[in-house]
């Protein structure tokens, strides 16, 4: 009998934690997605020239370029 009360009190505690978490999340101040997306697009456009994923890496400044060529005999 004590096993049933232990599991039911455990589920009540879990439910209370969930309710508390949902209350915290509901009380958070949200930023509109349209504002955030606009900021992200603007940032990407302003920094695209220095972004190596967009503009690439020059061969002279690439630290991963092979120093020697491999020759097979």
Structural domain includes residue 46: yes
Write out the chain's pLDDT in tens, 73 residues: 455 667 788 999 999 999 999 999 999 998 888 888 999 999 999 998 888 888 887 777 777 777 777 777 7
Query: Domain limits at 44?
Result: 2-55
How many domains does the chain divide into? 1
Cβ neighbourhood burial of 72 (10 Å; 0-12, 13-18, 19+): exposed
Within a domain: 73: no
Under a CB-based contact definition with an 8 Å cutoff, are residues 59 and 65 in contact?
A: yes
């Amino acid at each position: 009998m004590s096993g049933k009360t232990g599991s039911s009190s455990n589920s009540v505690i879990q439910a209370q934690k969930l309710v508390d978490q949902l209350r915290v999340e509901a009380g958070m101040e949200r930023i509109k997605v349209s504002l955030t997306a606009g900021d992200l697009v603007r940032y990407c456009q302003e920094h695209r020239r220095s972004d190596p994923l967009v503009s690439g890496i020059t061969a002279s400044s690439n630290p991963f370029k092979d120093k020697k060529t491999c020759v097979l005999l």
